[in-house]
Amino acid sequence: MRQLNQNALDILAFLQANAAASNLPPSRKEIAAATGIQSTGTVQRLLRRLDQAGYIKLQPGTARAIQVIDLSDGHQPD
Residues contacting 15, CB < 8 A, separation 6+: 25, 26, 31, 50, 56, 66, 68
- Closest by Cα among 37, 59, 47 to 15: 47
Give the predicted TM-score (pTM) of the model.
Answer: 0.86
38-51: average pLDDT? 96
CA–CA distance, 46 with 74 (Å, rounded to integer): 24
**Domain annotation covers residue 38:** yes
Strands (E), 1-78: 56-58, 66-68
Instruction: Give the range of the structural domain holding residue 12, as residue numbers without chain letter.
Output: 6-68
Paired with 57 in beta bridges are: 67
**Domain annotation covers residue 47:** yes
Render pLDDT for 21-36 as a digit per residue (tens, 0 to 9).
988 999 999 999 999 9
Per the prediction, the chain carries an average pLDDT of 89
Query: What CATH number is attached to the domain comprising 29?
Result: 1.10.10.10
In total, how many domains does the chain have?
Answer: 1
**Domain annotation covers residue 78:** no
